[in-house]
């Protein structure tokens, strides 16, 4: 099976710039074991921009998706936990858009042939072990600090058929055997 790194497409300008999120959501708790410590719904302020565009995929400061994307992801991962994010214009205090924050499993599947940045906090060229994935269609890479989302080919294809916006993909090398 093929797998892809999921990124926010950088061709879009005027995407939401989230303000003061750091004190509202603890990124270290965005995992299956501690997600219950994060409120179910969080309001985040975004920088005012008359040309603001909300793509279906956002990856900073953490992976978030529109309802259209989330409904497709739930077809592949029906037991996926999530949180709700409401963006509001920080100057008008009005609701402007709604996103889902999936609580993704971390999977220890990086092969020793993967290439990392100097402090090994980010993978530059991932190589993954398919045997370690255990039937997940979307997950986070474990063993690195940066929250890196990976999706299986069938899920990526389902999203592309729905013409979602903001999806950037990069194919990952997959090893079928052990480490």
Q: Regarding predicted confidence, which is higher, 10 or 155? A: 155
User: What's the mean pLDDT in 21-26?
Assistant: 86
Instruction: Outline where 91-172 has alpha helix (H).
Output: 153-161
User: What's the mean pLDDT in 45-55?
Assistant: 87
Of 88, 93, 94, which Cα lies nearest the Cα of 18?
88
pTM above 0.85, yes or no: yes
pLDDT at residue number 63: 95
Provide φ and ψ at 62, rounded to 5°. Answer: -155, 165
Residue 136 has pLDDT above 90, yes or no: yes
Look at the chain and count its residues: 179
pLDDT at residue number 178: 56
Q: Which residues contact 122 (CB under 8 A, 6 or more apart)?
A: 116, 144, 145, 146, 148
pLDDT at residue number 47: 87
Q: Regarding predicted confidence, which is higher, 177 or 30? A: 30
Residue 32 has pLDDT above 80, yes or no: yes
* 65 close to 98: Cβ distance less than 8 angstroms: no
Of 38, 10, 3, which Cα lies nearest the Cα of 24?
38
Residue 158 has pLDDT above 70, yes or no: yes
What does the block give as tokens for 108? Answer: 């220890």
pLDDT at residue number 120: 86
Residue 94 has pLDDT above 80, yes or no: no
* 88 close to 45: Cβ distance less than 8 angstroms: yes
User: What's the mean pLDDT in 129-143?
Assistant: 93
In terms of C-beta density within 10 A (0-12 exposed, 13-18 middle, 19 or more buried), how is residue 104 classed?
A: buried
What is the chain's mean pLDDT, rounded? 91
Hey, which residues does 115 pair with through a beta bridge? 125
**Neighbour-count burial for 156-175, b at 16+ CB within 10 Å, e otherwise:** bebbeeeebbbbbbeebebb
- Assign 95 a pLDDT band (cuts: 50, 70, 90): low
- Assign 176 a pLDDT band (cuts: 50, 70, 90): confident
Residue 161 has pLDDT above 90, yes or no: yes
């Amino acid at each position: 099976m093929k797998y892809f790194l999921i990124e926010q497409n950088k061709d879009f300008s005027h995407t939401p710039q989230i303000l003061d999120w750091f004190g509202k959501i603890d990124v270290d708790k965005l995992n299956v074991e501690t997600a219950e410590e994060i409120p179910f719904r969080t309001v985040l302020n975004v920088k005012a921009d008359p040309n603001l565009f909300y793509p279906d995929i956002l990856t900073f400061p953490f992976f978030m998706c529109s309802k259209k994307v989330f409904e497709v992801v739930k077809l592949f991962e029906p037991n996926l936990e999530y949180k709700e994010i409401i963006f509001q214009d920080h100057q008008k205090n009005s609701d402007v858009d709604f996103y889902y924050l999936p609580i993704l499993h971390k999977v220890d599947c990086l092969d020793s042939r993967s290439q990392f940045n100097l402090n090994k906090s980010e993978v530059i060229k991932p190589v993954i072990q398919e045997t370690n994935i255990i039937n997940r269609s979307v997950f986070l890479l474990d063993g690195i600090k940066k929250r890196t989302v990976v999706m299986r080919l069938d899920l990526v294809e389902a999203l592309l058929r729905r013409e979602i916006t903001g999806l950037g993909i990069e194919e990952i090398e997959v090893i079928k055997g052990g480490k």
